Structure 1
Amino acid sequence: MTHETRRHNFDSADFSWYCNSIGNLEFDFFNSSTRTVRTIIIEGATSGTRLTANVDVSPGQSEYVYVTSSGGFCAKERSARLYFNYQIAIGGECLTWYSTLELQSMRETCRAIQTEQQQRSIIYNNCFIEKSRGAEMTAINSIRMVCREISENPSMLQRWRWGP
Structure 2
Amino acid sequence: MARVRWWGTGLVALVLLVLGAGLPLLDTALGGHGRPLAAGTVLSLGTQRDGVRPVTFSVPSPGWVLDQAHSSLASNVELANAEVGLSVSVVVPLAPLDARELWDGLGRIVAVGGRSRLHARPVPITTARGLTGLTGLLGGPERTGTATVFATRTLGATVTASGPPGAYGRLAAEVDAMVRTITISAPS
TM-score between the two structures when normalised by the length of structure 1: 0.25
The one of the two structures with greater contact order (alpha-carbon pairs below 8 A, sep at least 6) is: 1
Q: Compare CA radii of gyration and give the structure with the larger one.
A: 2
- The TM-score normalised by the length of structure 2 is 0.23
